[in-house]
Structure 1
């Protein structure tokens, strides 16, 4: 059984951030301008702003990705986690999520937020398994999200 490897951001891997996430976003929602900006230019919109993008490789292929957006002095937001269907069952989401939390902790984060939608039931279960807990959603934060969760270090 081949193991999943977590890889840091590189310009060569950047196109996977768009291609892996585009499918699920367009399946459930419309691609908004902020989606396009983050997914097409992760170096400018996330990395250079203090965030991160990580990739999962399995059987020599990039099969998953996740982003971290810096949203405060010691706070990040987990964004754009996507896993290709062919890699499901390999714990790619769990490994990516844990790697993102480890990265944030190493950077001194006290909190990682995430916004999701209750229709994404497998994602909510994954976030709970990672240790995220529900917190009240402020009205008007994100139009397409109805769930707010946080992970406290």
Structure 2
């Protein structure tokens, strides 16, 4: 297996956050205004708010990304994890997830939340392999998602 490097956010990498995630969001959910804002300008919506965006480089190309949104109260939300089809099967999603959890822990977080949808079965299996567990959804939150998971650090 070729080496995978996990890279922190930089303005030169920012466009990959949109390009890697656009296809799956449009396929399953349609691109909503908050998706567009986060994906088009992660520096303003995530980085400047105390979050992070990480990128995976494989074979000299950016092939994956994940965002972390600062949720306050010593918690982050894992959002918008995407891996290009040509890089699937290389455990890049798992490496990105692990790097996101490690980053959150270094920031002093106590937990990382994520919201998903049961139609994204491979993603749910990935999150479980990272140690996330399902918890009940609160009424009225994330209407387009039906699964809430958390990872206690």
The TM-score, its normalising length taken from structure 1, stands at: 0.99
* Counterpart for residue 41 of structure 2: 41
Instruction: Work out the number of aligned pairs and report it.
Output: 153
Any gaps of 5 or more consecutive residues in structure 1?
none
In 1, the alpha carbon distance for the partners of 2:48 and 2:22 equals: 22
In 2, the alpha carbon distance for the partners of 1:83 and 1:69 equals: 19
Which whole-Å deviations, capped at 9, do the CAs of 1:74-108 have from their partners, x for residues lacking one?
10000000000000111000000000000000000
* Counterpart for residue 151 of structure 1: 151
Any gaps of 5 or more consecutive residues in structure 2?
none
Q: C-alpha root-mean-square deviation of aligned residues, in Å?
A: 0.6
* Counterpart for residue 55 of structure 1: 55
Q: How much does 1:20 deviate?
A: 0.3
Alignment of 1:131 onto 2:134: no
In 1, the alpha carbon distance for the partners of 2:79 and 2:30 equals: 16
Q: How much does 1:11 deviate?
A: 0.2
* Counterpart for residue 15 of structure 1: 15
SS in 1 for 2:71: strand
In 1, the alpha carbon distance for the partners of 2:102 and 2:85 equals: 25
* Counterpart for residue 66 of structure 1: 66
Which 4+ residue blocks in structure 1 deviate beyond 3 angstroms? none
In 2, the alpha carbon distance for the partners of 1:52 and 1:78 equals: 10
The TM-score, its normalising length taken from structure 2, stands at: 0.99
In 2, the alpha carbon distance for the partners of 1:151 and 1:121 equals: 18
SS in 2 for 1:72: coil
